[in-house]
Amino acid sequence: MKYISTRGNSTEKKSTEAIIQGLASDKGLFIPSEIPRLPIDLSMLSELTYHQVASLVLMSFFPDFTREEIEHCVFSAYDSKFDHSNIVKIEKVGDIEVLELFHGKTAAFKDMALSILPHLMTTAIKKEKENNKICILAATSGDTGKAALEGFANVDGTEIVVFYPHNAVSKVQERQMTTQEGNNTHVIAIKGNFDTAQSGVKQIFADDKLAKELKSMNIKLSSANSINIGRLIPQVAYYIYSYGQLVKQGKINCGEKINIVVPTGNFGNILAAYYGKKMGMPFNKFICASNKNNVLTDFINTGTYSIKRDFYLTNSPSMDILISSNLERLLYHISGEDSNLISNLMNSLEKDGEYSLPKFMLNELDDFYGNFASEEETETTISKVWKDNEYLLDTHTAVAYKVYDKYKRETGDNTKTIIAGTASPFKFSDSVIKSLGYDVDEDGFKNMITVQEKTGVKIPNSLADLEKKAILHSTVINSDNMKNKIKEILS
Ligand SMILES: *Cc1c(COP(=O)(O)O)cnc(C)c1O
């Protein structure tokens, strides 16, 4: 299996090379030349641990690593950094199952992939005898940044630079990043939103002149965003693992179909579920949940993707995105792997701010249902689910919960359903405390404590000591200064 670009103008790469490089040289995204089949019988799945499932998935997609290498990465990543021994947890809430993906060090699902990406990257660097220092660039809507910093802090042979939108992430998210320790970590706020940060990073990747300059300093750039295939594939594992767990718990029969609801921003997490289906998992509908920035809802319902619309800062900031990068990978697969077509669509998006799918591709979107929840609906969902079930949702998972509600009302579909629980409610304490009807304090930490006091749910250890930590990063720049900032950091 090789890795090729969605836009067709880059040479084939080994999986190791694709992980080191991050983005293809023609600005496309790397995709596997074929999606592997699940390498075991479905009936075996319920017997496997998280580590076993993750190893199987990674070995299937990354054949250039040995079994020993993959297992070493898996066991180094998924260890006591996670506060749950099964790494992920499934909680029944009303008639759905919440797949809690936030038991890692930074209390959001980004830990699931960013705990392992540095290990995959350093293993790949060794295997390819890469002599250059790798500088990881990440644009973040709040959660990727901290998870990438934790993952790459003090990793030999790497620097990590994170760009986040100033005043557009939650207070806890910001404090998590600005207090980051490590001799190779750099955190920079930019004036703009997540799309500005992500486009800036993509432009830097496409800058041949900069690449040459850095090469002369023995430095190569790579990505920690879900545009990196090494970030995306580890996420396939938890959907497959959780299916086995539902069978084991007697909640479904082996072979029975399930729906998966995902609160979506960059389309990475939901694409990982789709890859699970392509591997042969009995997944039925993928329910794509958006907030008020509902560009994906409109796309799934009409086939037209348009960013010619207002951008909103919402109470689910990690989904405040208009340019959803990984959609490009889905389009590639449903276009019959037509890289010319994908190139044209992406050029229209860049030039005209929109594109429309040709008719034959519209049917292929049938696996997906799209809808959105307003900020008010998000708040009432948090308070209702707390009252009815004593389960505390974060704002992103609440968006997904509400959208599932709409799906059920519209379709009457009773298929067993799991929701990707993407963050601890404490990361968004201000919005959560407001939703529960209490006064919001100026001080984000007071709100965290109030949430704990009022609900009895415990603040995760990783967030509890945040207030005492020194602020080590405070740079704010204009977005057109990103490239110069990188040069300054690396020289
Ligand atoms: C990143 C993030 C999302 C969106 O995930 P994508 O892979 O970008 O679709 C949703 N919720 C939370 C809490 C996140 O951090």
Taking the centre of ligand 1 as the mean of its atom positions, its distance from the CA of residue 144, in whole angstroms, is: 8
The finding on whether 266 has its CB within 6 A of some atom of ligand 1 is: yes
Instruction: Provide CB contacts within 8 A for 343, sequence distance 6+.
Output: 7, 8, 9, 26, 28
Q: Which ligand 1 atom sits nearest the alpha carbon of residue 321?
A: 8
Taking the centre of ligand 1 as the mean of its atom positions, its distance from the CA of residue 420, in whole angstroms, is: 10
The finding on whether 108 has its CB within 6 A of some atom of ligand 1 is: yes
The finding on whether 272 has its CB within 6 A of some atom of ligand 1 is: no
Which letter, b or e, does each residue of 108-138 get, where b requires 16 or more Cβ atoms within 10 Å of its Cβ?
A: bbbbbbbbbbbbbbbbbbebeebeebbbbbb
Taking the centre of ligand 1 as the mean of its atom positions, its distance from the CA of residue 396, in whole angstroms, is: 8
Taking the centre of ligand 1 as the mean of its atom positions, its distance from the CA of residue 15, in whole angstroms, is: 24
pLDDT tens per residue across span 90-123: 999 999 999 999 999 999 999 999 999 999 999 9
The finding on whether 427 has its CB within 6 A of some atom of ligand 1 is: no
Instruction: Provide CB contacts within 8 A for 445, sequence distance 6+.
Output: 172, 466, 467
Which letter, b or e, does each residue of 29-56 get, where b requires 16 or more Cβ atoms within 10 Å of its Cβ?
A: bbbbeebbebeeebeebbebebbbbbbb
The finding on whether 319 has its CB within 6 A of some atom of ligand 1 is: yes
pTM: 0.96
Taking the centre of ligand 1 as the mean of its atom positions, its distance from the CA of residue 88, in whole angstroms, is: 16
Instruction: Provide CB contacts within 8 A for 317, sequence distance 6+.
Output: 141, 142, 168, 169, 170, 173, 428
- Phi then psi for residue 133, to 5 deg, are -75, 140
Taking the centre of ligand 1 as the mean of its atom positions, its distance from the CA of residue 128, in whole angstroms, is: 31
pLDDT at position 462, please? 85
Q: Is 110 a catalytic residue?
A: yes
The finding on whether 172 has its CB within 6 A of some atom of ligand 1 is: no
The finding on whether 148 has its CB within 6 A of some atom of ligand 1 is: no
The finding on whether 324 has its CB within 6 A of some atom of ligand 1 is: no
* Catalytic member of 13, 14, 110, 292: 110
Low-confidence ranges of the chain (pLDDT < 70): none
Residue nearest to atom 1 of ligand 1 (CA): 318
Amino acid sitting at position 127: K
Taking the centre of ligand 1 as the mean of its atom positions, its distance from the CA of residue 67, in whole angstroms, is: 30
> Beta partners for 163?
139, 188
Residue nearest to atom 14 of ligand 1 (CA): 318
Instruction: Provide CB contacts within 8 A for 35, sequence distance 6+.
Output: 275, 278, 279, 333
Pocket test for ligand 1, best of 164, 266, 372 (most atoms within 8 A of CB): 266
Q: Which ligand 1 atom sits nearest the alpha carbon of residue 102?
A: 13
The finding on whether 7 has its CB within 6 A of some atom of ligand 1 is: no
The finding on whether 269 has its CB within 6 A of some atom of ligand 1 is: yes
Pocket test for ligand 1, best of 300, 396, 402, 432 (most atoms within 8 A of CB): 396
Contact 101, 392 (CB under 8 A): no
Which one-letter DSSP state was computed for residue 473?
A: -
pLDDT at position 441, please? 93
Q: Which ligand 1 atom sits nearest the alpha carbon of residue 397?
A: 11
Taking the centre of ligand 1 as the mean of its atom positions, its distance from the CA of residue 255, in whole angstroms, is: 28
The finding on whether 320 has its CB within 6 A of some atom of ligand 1 is: no
CA distance 240 to 244: 7
- Phi then psi for residue 371, to 5 deg, are -160, 175
